[in-house]
Amino acid sequence: MAATNKDFKMLQVEVDEGEEDSYFRFQCGKQVRYVTIAAGVYTADVMVFAPDLFTVLPAFPPGDWNYGYIGKDPKTGTPCFIEISRRQLPGVEDVWHPTDVDHLDVVYGERLRNGVYRVTTAMFAEIIVAKFAVFEHEIGYLNSECAAYQWIEGQNIGPKFLGNLVEDGRVIGFLMGDITDAKHADIDDLSLCQEALRRLHQLGILHGDTNKHNFLIKDERAVLIDFDNARKCDDQEEFAKELNGLTEQLNDSLGRGGMIILKSLLQWIQRLAPPALPRATSRALQPNTKPPHHVARMSFSNADTGGKTADPYVAKNSQDPSLKEKAEDFTTFAEKTKFCLLTTKNKDNLLVSRAMAIAGKEGNGVDLIFHTNTESGKTDDLQNSPEVNVGFIDSSGQWASVSGAAKVETDRSRVREYYSQSLKAWLGDLGDGKHDGGPEDPRIGLIRVKAHTITYAISSKNIVTSTIEVAKGALTGQTAQVNKLRHLDESELQQWRSS
């Protein structure tokens, strides 16, 4: 089967930029094939972007195989299949639920994170969630999690376990109910999280990873997720340690006070607010001056602060936590905000921004997918220049800026994967049997944004504490520390995509 076959699809990828092999999961018609690519055969940028990879992959050999290894031909140096074989791949051993669903009968929608998708299937009327082992080394985690779901069955502690996800006769994951319109926990939800965790402990189960992303809050109830580190336990000290650690897990800062205090503080801050400063006048090149071919990096400055930090806000609020925390906090914020401005360059190199809504994510959540009318101005802009910016902001002032490159995708299988009935309201039905706003309407395409850098600022405190911090700054002249100001560079994003 050739790599350009219309049924050929890259499902998942784990790319290493260094001297390690990279791993791929492909769907070829009705078969899933796991392919390892030797280090150095292709660059990481090519391997993580399917349209680029498909153009350079060697043709897939015919036959009944599920594992292949691509290296370089020792004589010609060109990429080729060094090995193909049919392997007995491992599956989940702790299978207890009677319902099996073949992964080929599942329609994958929004990617929540690596190996976790919102899906639909004929067996269930509503949208559900699939979680599965992408590669065989992840099966152990699914073993533990499937066992944990059996322990909590019927206890209303986690999402409802709906059945096993099966590939080629082996269980690779499971299906569970979707907790829609939920949010991740914060310190204000401490009592709800404690209640959920106590109920788990009463069953003799230690969760093992009580970070704030593993509590979903909805309707004044906390739902626990991600039981891959859960285990049976009879040590009361361990239970107490996990329960007492919740405050640290959920709390970014300790806030005290109430709405009456908040109201008076807001009025006080308004009285303290200084008058607006006059705008600085920018410097520009003289009209007839041409810049040299090689221009040194320049910056604007309108003040001399000596040895003191000229921008104390950045210095005070910048954070550089773990890559996992930075990436997951961004994806959570983007998913919750959903609406954004997509900025492109038109044919005159002028910037144009349009309101958009996220249709999906890829690249482990940091690369964004949008619906588009292929006959609109933004696709013309992207033909002129792929460089884009995606900007998010919410009503509280939290924001994110994504700088990247965009491509227009018209492959119908990809369009169907992310299609939404609401698109009909924007494209309409032209009455010709073709341009009907449905998934086969050729006007419907996708804009795929691959992030180069991400910068964002989300609140590090609750509203009461933030107000106190701003008020203190207004009174004392000390810069307020209210946000988590973070940056993900290109190398970090590449590492996260491969994780």
Q: Is the pTM of this model over 0.85?
A: no
The pLDDT assigned to 479 comes to 47
Please indicate, yes or no, whether residues 66 and 133 belong to a single structural domain of this protein. Answer: no
Domain that holds residue 76: 8-85
DSSP class of residue 277?
P
Tell whether 291 is covered by a domain: no
Tell whether 357 is covered by a domain: yes
Q: Shortest CA distance to 332 belongs to which of 223, 454, 247, 222?
A: 454
Tell whether 298 is covered by a domain: no
Last residue of a domain, one of 59, 85, 111: 85
In tens, the pLDDT along 181-214 reads 889 899 999 999 999 999 999 999 999 999 988 9
DSSP 359-401: EEEETTTTEEEEEEETTSHHHHHHHH--EEEEEEE-TTS-EEE
Please indicate, yes or no, whether residues 459 and 433 belong to a single structural domain of this protein. Answer: yes
In tens, the pLDDT along 82-135 reads 999 999 999 999 899 999 999 999 998 887 877 889 999 999 999 999 999 888
In tens, the pLDDT along 397-406 reads 889 999 999 9
- CATH number of the domain where residue 405 is located: 2.30.110.10
Tell whether 287 is covered by a domain: no
Mean pLDDT, the chain, rounded, equals 81
Please indicate, yes or no, whether residues 164 and 74 belong to a single structural domain of this protein. Answer: no
Q: Which of 106-115, 411-420, 444-453 has the lowest mean pLDDT?
A: 106-115
Tell whether 92 is covered by a domain: no
Please indicate, yes or no, whether residues 148 and 191 belong to a single structural domain of this protein. Answer: no
Q: End-to-end distance of the chain based on CA atoms, in angstroms?
A: 29
- CATH number of the domain where residue 123 is located: 3.30.200.20
Using alpha carbons, list the distances in angstroms from residue 80 to 47, 63, 403, 494: 15, 16, 35, 25
Q: What is the mean pLDDT of residues 319-347?
A: 89
The pLDDT assigned to 66 comes to 94
Tell whether 1 is covered by a domain: no
How far apart CA 318 and CA 307 sit, in angstroms, is: 19
Q: Shortest CA distance to 252 belongs to which of 402, 391, 398?
A: 398
Tell whether 246 is covered by a domain: yes
In tens, the pLDDT along 263-316 reads 444 443 344 444 443 333 333 333 333 333 333 334 444 444 444 444 444 444
Please indicate, yes or no, whether residues 345 and 456 belong to a single structural domain of this protein. Answer: yes
Q: Shortest CA distance to 303 belongs to which of 295, 311, 314?
A: 311
Please indicate, yes or no, whether residues 159 and 192 belong to a single structural domain of this protein. Answer: no
Has residue 239 got a pLDDT over 70? yes
Please indicate, yes or no, whether residues 80 and 121 belong to a single structural domain of this protein. Answer: no
Please indicate, yes or no, whether residues 343 and 459 belong to a single structural domain of this protein. Answer: yes
Please indicate, yes or no, whether residues 24 and 160 belong to a single structural domain of this protein. Answer: no
Last residue of a domain, one of 177, 204, 227: 177
Phi-psi group of 388: left, alpha or beta (phi > 0 → left; psi -120 to 50 → alpha; rest → beta): beta
DSSP 3-state of 53: helix
Please indicate, yes or no, whether residues 155 and 201 belong to a single structural domain of this protein. Answer: no
Tell whether 55 is covered by a domain: yes
How far apart CA 469 and CA 479 sit, in angstroms, is: 9
Please indicate, yes or no, whether residues 213 and 243 belong to a single structural domain of this protein. Answer: yes
Has residue 488 got a pLDDT over 50? yes
Please indicate, yes or no, whether residues 389 and 365 belong to a single structural domain of this protein. Answer: yes
Tally of structural domains, the chain:
4
Last residue of a domain, one of 85, 116, 131: 85
